[in-house]
Every structure is written in C-alpha cells, then in structure tokens.
Chains A and B, each alone.
Chain A
Amino acid sequence: MTGLRVSTRRLVHIYRSEGHEVAALSGVDLDVAAGELVGLLGPSGAGKSTLLSLLAGVFRASAGKVHVGDLELSAATPRELDRMRAQDVSLMLQGAGRNLLPYGTPHDNVRFAQRAARRAGKDLPGPGDVLEQLGLGADAHRPLDELTPGHLQLAALAVAMASRPGLLLADEPTSQLDHAARDRVLSAIAETCRELGTTVVIVTHDPDVAAFLPRTITIRDGRVGGEGRSGEEYAVVTPDGFLPLPGHVRDELAPGTLVRFHTTGEGAGYLLVPEDGPDE
C-alpha cells in the first residue's frame, strides 16, 4: 500500500458548547502528498485534533471538502467510512491506552485491528511480524500493564499500522514519554513512513518533535497559520487571499495597524511597511 494523498478545501467545523456555536476550524486548506510525513502544530484549542478527527472521518465537516485518497469524506456513506478505517486510514488517539483493548496483549490488539482488513481481503503480515518490526517481538504476549510507557506507545503504533493503512493520523504520539522513548517512537514512525510509503500526519506540541518533522503546519484559531519546511518558517497565503502573520510579527503589529506591501526590485520580494498610527 502506498501512501494516500490528503487535501482539505475551505474546511469548516462548528460544534455546540453550552448552547453556543463554536468554530473549531474556519476554512482550512491543506495538501499532504502521498507518503509525506507532516506535523500539525499549534496551541491548545487551535483545532489540530479536530482536523485530525475530520481526516479520520470521525467528525463530519460543517462545510468544505476533505479528500483522503479518492474518497471525499464529507459525502462518504458510513459503510465507505468503515471500509476506509478498516484498510486505508488509521487514527492513533492521544494516550496509548486509548488505542488498546485493555484486556489484550499487544499481539491480541494487533490481531483485533487487522480483522476488518483481513475480512476485506487485504493481505497483511501476521501480528507477530508487525510487532517485530517495531521491536516489540519480546513483548508480544505480555499483559499491557507490564509494558513501559514507551513500549505501550509502540504497541499503539503497531495497532495503528496493523492494517498497513495509507494514512496514519497520530494525535500526540509522544506525549507523556521520556526522551529516549519519544525518540524511539518517532524513529519508528519515520521508518514506517519511509519503508511502507505511508502518509503520516502527527499532531504535536513538542518543539523537538516538530524539529524532527520535514514539514509542519501550524494551526492557529482554526486556520492554517504557517508552515515550516526543513527548519524554515513560512506564512501561507490562503485561497481567498488572506495571509496570516507569523507569530513573532503579529506580536509587533498591534491589531488595527495599517500596513502596505511594497514590491522589492523585479518582484524578488515584498516589503511590509506599517503606517504610523494617528496618535503617533
């Protein structure tokens, strides 16, 4: 299975909280190429996990489109979504335990996760092989409460990768781990992405994790607030022409500040010139 391409267009998600409608995402445009490893960054409540849930088909978009491979999720039937979750998309919930049947061993859990895909005729490696690939061969038949947090997270990753999905969506896969465990999980994810060609979208708060990822997308106030590639931070122009300011610039420009764009020489760049305020 090769990775799946993911794209969203003007994606909006609204939910009700205590009688009020709250926009978790308000027009997100995102493109992730097949086999790409992408991180979703941003402060708490920015909408990262919501976006991940929309990509997994857990939430239905209030407006806009979500494409995973050839499937447009906002119009997909429950059966199509089940089939997608069985074979193509895997969601790793935050907290390793939430991804595992508490009464099963890692082996049981991988087998459990593979059942739907196997029924659909997908050719998959055995649970032992899946666990072996992630270095959990020795722990395959141990009860979960005997595993270290790092191994527990690897088990969760094994479960998520059990059906060899084209898209792995991981919500904070390294939270609550010490550095060694975190690095091990991250390298396992990266290796999986590389070897199997799986598209991986990771939500994280951890700057070290962000630094590890080749591409990061920052979600801020329900929009794409910027993108980082190979250590460089970029602002991203939205399809309707908005340009969110990078964080450090926004701190300097108070709301209401008038700015002008000047072209610098031959279109090589733009100069953003703030006007003096009326009081100044």
Chain B
Amino acid sequence: MSVRYRPFQALALAALAALVTACAVFAPLYDRAMQQALTDITVERADPDSVALQVSTGSDSLFSNAKPENLVALVSPAMRDSYLDPVLGYRATAEVLPGQPNDPLGDLVWRDGECDHVAFVRGDCPAAPGDIAVSTADADNFGLRVGRRLTIRPASGDVGSRLRVTGIYEGAQGDDYWLGLALTGRSGLADPGLLSQVQHDVWLTDRSTFEGSRVPVMPEQAATVGLPLDATALGVDDLMSLASGIEELAAAGTAPTAPFTVEVHSGLPDIAADVRDQTDQSRVTVPLLMAQLGLLALVVLWLTLLAVTEQRRPEVALARLRGRGRRGARSLLAGELLPVALGGVLPGVTIALVGTALARTVALPGHAPFESGLRLLVAVGIAVAALVLLTVLAITRVAREPVETLLRRVPPRRGSWMLGTGDALVVAGAGSLVVVFATGGLDGPVALAAPGLIAVVVGLVLAHLTTPLAAVTGRGMLRRGKVRAAVSLLDAARSPATRRVVAIVTLASALAVFSADAFVIGQRNRAAASEQQAGARLVADVEAGHLAAVRDALAEVDPDGRDATPVVRIRPPGVGSVETVAVVPDDFRRIALFPGGAPPAGTWRLLDVPDVDPLEITGTQLALTVAGSSLAATRADGQPGPLSLGVDLVTAAGETLHTTLGSLDRPVDRERLVVPTYCRDGCFVSAIWLHTLPGASITGSATLRDLRGDAPASIGPADQWTPVDDDAQGRMAPGSTKPRQLSVAVQTDGASEIRMPQVWLPVRAPALLTGGLPPAASGRQFDLSALDGTVQRAEEVQALDRVPGTGPRAALVNLDLVERGVALATSARIEIWFAEDDPGLLAKVTSALEERGASISTTSTLTETRRTFDDSAAAWSIQLAAVVGAAAVLLALLVLLVGAASSWRSRTRDLAALRMSGVPRRDIGSMAVASQLPAVVVGVIAGTATGVYGAHLALPTVPLFAGEPAVSTLDLSTAWPAVALAVVASTAVLGGGSALIGRVLARRAAVRRLREGDL
C-alpha cells in the first residue's frame, strides 16, 4: 500500500536498484562474452591445420606396430568432443632406389578417405599393398605412368620394397582435409638437405601398404591421426582445457613409460596463451570502469536510501510510539523498502542480459554463446547482498534514533561548515589515496579507482561548502533586495538535497567525462597505431624487380601522383638495422597516414633532388676522344701497371653497365675510343672511372671530349661531375668550362679504381631519419642500404618521430634520387601506397602493371589493420566506457528524481506559501528551477575537472592494445571534444532534468497544498 502512496519514489528506487544490479551483472557477463569473442575470432582467423590436433608416433617408435587407432585412444573423450571425426593415417619416406641424386625422395601417405579429396586424371585410387597414386607433376617429371613399378628403400635391410603406380592425381588446393599437408609443389625440386636429392610430391597409398607384411617398414614410418577442430562449438573454457589437455598429451607421449613415443602438433596452446594474455588485460580495464560505476551506484543508492528513510521518520516515530520498538520500526521500513529494492533485481538482470546480448551481437565479433550459469548467479547474489545490506543499514540508522528525535520535523544537523565524522573519514581516506597515487606511489588495481576517489573527495568537500556559501550569498542578495534569487539560494541552502545533488553530480559527471575521455583516447590510439602500422589506406606489394614498370604504370593511371605512390623499401639484415624507405616526397606526404599529421612542407623540401640534368646517350655504340693524356699507373714495385678508362652506364631498366672504353697504359696524344653498348633505349652516364691493379697508383691528367652515342653528348663542363677527394680512392678533379670537353686530373695511391660520379647521381642522399643515427654515423652522416643492396651514403637532414608503415628505425629518402643508377636488389620490396581503399583504382593499377609484365602479390588495407587492433580484449574493455558514462549520468538523474519524489510535498507547500504571499506564478517557476540548478551546474563543473584529472592519472595504467605496437604512437592527451560532449550531455540530462523537476513542482504548488496539513 505504501508503494501506491509514493509510486514515483518507489519507481525511482526500483530503477536505481535495477541499475545497480544491471552493473553488477553486466560486468562479468560482458567480460565473459569478450573472452568468448576473442576465442572465436582467434580460432576463426587461425588456419584449420594450426588449430587441429595432429598426433603421430615418434621417430623412435618405428617398429612399435602402433596403429592410428592407438593414437586416437590417447586423446581423452572430453577432448574428442571438441574435435570433428579423426582422420587416421600413416606416413613414411619413400626414396626410389638406388638413391642417386636424380632418384626422387618424398612422403608416402595414407589417409582415411584420401581419394575423395584428390581428382584422378588417370588410373584409380590405390587399393592394395604397394599401390600408389602420384601427382601429375611427378608423372611428367619422373615418367611415372600407371602400371610403372618402383623399388623404394626400406627402413632396414637391403631388400627394397616394391610399389606400383595405380593412379595419377591432381592435388586440390586449400582442402582443409589435408590439415596443412601440401600434396604437390615439390616435384623436381632439390631437397635443401645435405644430399641435394630431387624430391617427389606426396605419394598416396593404401592402408595395407603400412600394415601388411608385403611391404617392409619404411624409413620414418609413423602412424598419424589428425583431429580437425570443431570451431563452431569451441568456448573459452574448452580452449583452455584443450590447451592443457594437449600439453599433457605431449608430455605423456614422451614419458619413458609410454609404450611408444608420440609427437603432438597443435597451435591451440599458443592461441590459448594469447587469449589468456588479453583476458588478463581486460582484468585491468573492466574493473577500472566498473569499479567506479559500482562506487557511484553504491553511493547513489546509499544517499537515496538515506533520503527515503529520512522521509519516513514520522512513520518510524509512530511505530515506536505504538510500542513496536526499534525492531518493529525496522520491520516497518524493511517491509516497505526491501521489496521495492529487490523488485529492481529482476529488471536489472534483464537489462544486463539484454545489454550482453546486444554486446554479443553488435559490439563484439564472433559468435559468443549466451551464458548465464554460476557467473550470473554470483553476480546477482552480490547485487542482492549489496542492496539488502545498504537498505538494512539505512533503515537501522533511522530506526535506532530516539523517539524524541524522530518526532522532530527536521532531523538535528550539525553546523553547516563542518564535515560529519563519516564524511570526514571518507574524504581523509580517499584523499590520502589520491595524494599517494598522484605522487606516483601507487599503482595496480587500487590506482584504477583514482578518478572515482578524486571525485568523491571533491564532491563531498564541495557539497559541504555549497550550502553555507549558498546561505551566505542568499542572505546577501536578500539584503540587496534581490528577492527571487535570494529565496532560491536560501531554499537550496536549507534543503538537505543540495549537498546530495552536488556530491552525486560531481561524481557522475567525473565518471562521464573520464569514460568519454578514455573511450576516445582508446579509439584515437588504436586509429593512430593502425595508421602507423598500415602506412596507407591501401598498400599493394608488387613482385620484386619491376620498379620501372610500377612507375610507368602509375604515371599512366595516376599522372599527378595524388591517389597512388610507389614506395621502395630495403632493410639490411640484423636487429635494429635502419630500413631504407624510398618515396616520392610530395606524393608520399599526401598519401601516407601520419598519426597526428604529416611533417610540414618545409621538411619534405629537404629531400628535394638537385636540379641538374643527367648525361644521356642513346645508341648501340659509344665513342669518346682522349687527348693529351699523361695518365699512368705505377705498380708498387715501380713498374708501369695496366690502366683502363671506362664509364658506368645506367640502362632504362635501372641496370648499371660497367663499360670499359679502352686502355691508357701509355701517354696518349689523341685517341678515339669506340665500344659497343646496350643503350638502344637510352642510358645515363653515371660515372667515369679509371682502373688499375690493386696496390698500384694512378697519376696524370687527360682531356676527354666528343662523347657521343648516336648523337653527340656534352661531357663538360666540369660542374656536372662530383670531384673525388677521399683517402680510400684518392683524388680525381674535373676541369673545363666547355660542354664538349672535360679534363681530369688524377692522383691515387693504392686503390685499384677511382670513380668520379656525375652530379645527377646522389653522393650523399638526404634522409629523414627516425630512431636516431646508427652507431657508426659520423656527425649527421651515415651509411644506409642502397636499393641495389650496396651501401648508400646519407645525411640526416631532419629527425622524424616515426615513418608510417615502418619499424622504429627507418630512413626516408627521395626515390627519384636513390633509384638513379641502381638496379633493385631482390630483397628490395616495391609497394604501391594508395590514398584511398579504392578497389577500382587498384584494378586499374593491377591491369596497368600486368600490361608491363608486373603483378601485385598481396594487398593490405587500413581497415584490416584497424580490425586487428579493434578485435582485442583491450579495445572491447574500453568500449565499456560508453556504457559506464551513460549509466553514471542516468544514476545522477535518478538521484534528482528520487530527491524530488521524496520532498515534493514539502517543496510544493513552500512554493504554495510563496504564492500566498503574492509571488507571481512565473516567478515561482523560475525560483523552483533556480533552487537546484546551481547545485547541478557546480557538480558538473567540478566533475569535469576531476574527470579530466582522473583520466590523466589512471589512463597510463590502462592497456590500450593487445600487444605493444613496434612503433609507439601513444598519445594520452585529453580528448577535449569528447570531454565537451560529455559535459554537454551531463548538463543537458541533469540540468534539463533538474529544470523539469523544478517546473513540475512549481505547477503543483497550488494554494490548496497549504490546507493539506500533515498529510
């Protein structure tokens, strides 16, 4: 009956209880669903052969006669439930005798049902001992026709086993039945082992080959069984128990007491370890968020219960006056409040279940099953215990008050400026934890509650300051004649709800701001990390060696370089080596994804190529006149040595032709040197060189002129050549002001060759460097890997924080510069980076490449990379922040509603009294709104500040990624737009709610309320 009397209050209290229950139940269910989703996608994305369980007899059990069925028996029935039907099999090595390098060697396999998984082009499935089926490649390479007989090496003895080809098959690609066994692809290739014997593909045979007596035991013969995983039914518990079962099986299989040794292969233990690691991460974030929401929910519930029980003081007084004692008073309140509080449990559980179902189907990937069970029961039990405990505590607090206190209309309060003992203890305890945490003395789970604790301290202190301040201000305004504002402030100061509202709104806003901040920071960091890892929205790998084709194709498809750009990368072996990343700076700057923004244009100008023309010749022969040559080579023993003059020519394909023009063993007055070349399509003269014996020295000078291929070319003036002056090579100085001639003066001491490059070729490539200079650097100069795999001298022109798509150490150089005069090494990777993930453009580029004999091998997209970051327990955990923020604001709104529902009679009477005094209705409305709105505003402002500070303290402890990215893009700076959104949302919901409540109260403030007396 009492519920009917205060229906809104009962509804609000039940809603609060529902929210508390929903929080308590949702957290573990969501955590569990995350684990299931993680298991699902990890298993789903793994190859079927890596998650399958493959068991075989060990190499030292060759003659154990163990059958595949014996292996199946080793797998416990509980484990078997998680796998599909086992595929029995045998395996051995079949080496055709006499075993010469051209006699093929490879696997001989029987698998139950094998012939259903290959296509026979000739002959039939092997059915008798010694019958085999070979691949079409083997049939071609080794002339294995149907009916052909072979002798293979036995495991022991000299008498070979006889096999007969009964069928020729074509292997099916991507058939999961074979669990990773590649049937074909090895035929005719040399065994990489010591003997370099030629290999055959897998030969299929009948079971009887391994079990009958007709064929002796073969080398490495083993029984096998493959158990494909039944991934559809695999849950996280199954995964963990399977992983430990597999480890036990492996351990038991190698135990000395085992009748035969067993080898176990499965990737599941590694997957389980990964899932376990990620689950451990979620154990940081989920409690971080839920503990604070739980804290808020409990504080809100407690304060609400205080308000609700306080309102019932007259009823408690009556119970005591009618002789029912404290116990009777407790039962009176418990009889009313406990059913209401517990009435929220079922809706709360329903909300949590619906929320989890939504999370499973919308927010989380995979097919996490619906789970309730013990986890749900425990969570509900905890929620019920918390509800009952808090309700009973609040009831007891009122029921034990003396009757004389209960009979007073307003409970006695302490002085306005003083903190109560309980509040003081909470402020002191939480405050000292916050101080310890802020000074770096605390981490781990306790640290996770920092934002909540700060908000509790700030909220309580502020709450205690607000009412006396409001009273002082209100009185001041009253003296100045501002009656309306003064009455509102004095009303706020008088109302016990004001403190409650300030404290709760502070805590709720702090949590909303913290959650929004954490949510967006998590997203931003995942986005940044995936951009850094992906490099561009779409990256296509081109088969090596086709840079010219790539550039040509891109020039055709995207002449402006706005949508696609080539990137060539080469990385010398070794940990911590600097990767060379050659790019077209202007295009790369536009297309590559730089988390936090690309470096400014000025930085890219540093990579500009010098504005010089190459020296180009075309034709099938090259001619050069040497005049006035005093060049001579002198051997170490003082005798004249051989001396040859040559040039380096770079073909259109990027190949360098080291071309000798002629011998200059003697001084020459004038000699025309003519040599054939392969420059029909044009070559660049990249260097002039002189060559002699090692240890010899070259001295002298000469004039070179009239260089020509099909047409004359300008070998001069001197400024298109880079003088050489170093200790290793010696000195070679160009001279001349005329375009058609060049004089060179040379002095070397022991170097066999001195090479003077043309200025168009880079001597020292400017590089934007990330990860710092290598240890061997001299000043800012260092060596990096040239695109041809040799050494390229480089100079750091500016340091970058990171280079997209690369590791921690990379040098960004200008592709137009470093590609000059080099042929790409096979280890160099050519990629095309696209500005957008545009399949149409990709198709165009692919087709343009194919026209030029190149092809794309693989592609990767930002979306895929982002998915790997998003599909992790770390990401899912932080998604909870959205729920937590919304729930926090909702909780605070409930506090406002409960407050209104508990005090509406007295507040409407007060407002009615004001109407009686002649205050206009409109003014009453604004006064009703203004009496609580300032408390909400103060709470939101304080909550925002504490939420931002709390995030600053707590977020460094939150795992944002499943595994730390190789290149950190971590940015934990405050996400101000998210904070602003949270503030706007909190203000709209709480401020709007408060204003609405004020309006409703004002509307109900009819004068007849004054006549209602005590009812």
Q: Which residues of A come within 8 Å of B, CB atoms?
A: 53, 56, 58-59, 78-79, 82-87, 90-91, 93, 95-104, 108, 112-113, 115-117, 144-145, 149, 152, 159, 163, 176
Contacts and interface: CB of A to CB of B under 8 A. Distances in A.
A116 B1013 contact: no
Given A58-B403, A59-B404, A84 B1013 contact: no
B143 interface: no
Contacts of A91: 321
28 contacts: A58-B403, A78-B325, A82-B320, A82-B323, A82-B325, A83-B323, A85-B321, A85-B322, A86-B324, A87-B323, A91-B321, A95-B1013, A96-B1013, A97-B1013, A99-B318, A102-B315, A102-B1015, A103-B6, A104-B1, A108-B1, A112-B319, A112-B322, A115-B324, A116-B322, A116-B323, A144-B1015, A152-B1015, A163-B322
A113 B318 CA distance: 8
Contact of B1014 (A56, A85, A96): A96
Contacts of A100: 318, 1015
Given A90-B321, A100-B1015, 13 more contacts: A78-B325, A79-B325, A82-B320, A82-B323, A96-B1013, A97-B1013, A102-B5, A102-B1015, A103-B1, A103-B2, A103-B4, A152-B1015, A159-B322
Contacts of B321: 56, 58, 85, 90-91, 93
Contacts, number: 76
Contact of A101 (B315, B323, B1012, B1013): B315
Interface of B: 1-2, 4-6, 314-315, 318-325, 328, 403-404, 407, 1012-1015
A116 B403 CA distance: 16
A82, A83, A117, A176: most-surrounded residue (chain B CB, <10 A): A82
A79 B49 CA distance: 78
B723 to A, nearest CB: 101
Contacts of A159: 322
A145 B318 contact: no
B398 to A, nearest CB: 15
Nearest to A147: B1015
A78 B402 CA distance: 10
A90 B321 CA distance: 7
Please report whether the interface of chain A is mostly helix, strand, loop or mixed according to DSSP.
Answer: helix
A57 to B, nearest CB: 8
B594 to A, nearest CB: 67
Contacts of B323: 82-87, 116-117, 163
B322 A113 contact: yes
B593 to A, nearest CB: 65
Contacts of B328: 115-116
Contacts of B322: 85-86, 90, 112-113, 115-116, 159, 163
A56 B5 CA distance: 30
Nearest to A114: B322
Nearest to A108: B1
A35 B346 CA distance: 56
A93 B403 CA distance: 12
B980 to A, nearest CB: 46
A58 B323 CA distance: 11
B407 A58 contact: yes
Contacts of B314: 98
Contacts of A163: 322-323
A112 B324 CA distance: 10
Nearest to A56: B321
A91 B403 CA distance: 12
B551 to A, nearest CB: 86
Given A93-B407, A98-B1014, A101-B315, A116 B1 contact: no
A234 B5 CA distance: 50
B454 to A, nearest CB: 37
A55 to B, nearest CB: 13
Contacts of B1015: 97, 100, 102, 144-145, 152
B487 to A, nearest CB: 24
Contact of A53 (B320, B325, B404, B1014): B404
Contact of A103 (B5, B319, B325): B5
Nearest to A176: B1013
A68 B318 CA distance: 20
A74 to B, nearest CB: 14
Nearest to B323: A86
Contacts of B318: 98-101, 112
A36 B838 CA distance: 102
Contacts of B404: 53, 58-59
A124 B514 CA distance: 62
Nearest to A159: B322
Contacts of A115: 322, 324, 328
A82 B324 contact: yes
A275 to B, nearest CB: 46
Contacts of B320: 82, 85
A118 to B, nearest CB: 11
Nearest to B403: A58
Contacts of A56: 321
A112 B319 CA distance: 8
Top 4 nearest A-B pairs by Cβ distance? A86-B323, A97-B1014, A103-B5, A85-B323
A152 B1012 CA distance: 12
B402 to A, nearest CB: 8
Nearest to A78: B325
B321 to A, nearest CB: 6
B424 to A, nearest CB: 22
B775 to A, nearest CB: 80
Most B CB within 10 A of own CB, among A115, A163, A176? A115
B592 to A, nearest CB: 71
A215 B279 CA distance: 83
Nearest to A149: B1013
A76 to B, nearest CB: 13
A104 B332 CA distance: 13
B330 to A, nearest CB: 13
Contacts of A144: 1015
A189 to B, nearest CB: 18
A85 B320 CA distance: 8
Contacts of B325: 78-79, 82, 116
A146 to B, nearest CB: 11
Contacts of B5: 102-103
A149 B1013 CA distance: 9
A278 to B, nearest CB: 48
A90 B314 CA distance: 16
A278 B997 CA distance: 70
Contacts of A53: 404
Contact of A116 (B4, B324, B1014): B324
A95 B1014 contact: yes
A99 B407 CA distance: 11
Nearest to B315: A101
A221 B250 CA distance: 98
A15 to B, nearest CB: 9
A16 to B, nearest CB: 10
A210 to B, nearest CB: 24
Nearest to B6: A103
Nearest to A117: B323
Contacts of A98: 314, 318, 1014
A142 to B, nearest CB: 13
Nearest to B336: A103
Contacts of A152: 1015
A112 B325 CA distance: 13
Among B6, B314, B321, B403, max chain A CB count under 10 A is at B321
A197 to B, nearest CB: 20
Contacts of A84: 323
Contacts of B4: 103
A102 B1012 CA distance: 12
Contacts of B324: 82, 86, 115-116
Nearest to B1012: A145
A89 to B, nearest CB: 9
Nearest to B327: A82
B396 to A, nearest CB: 15
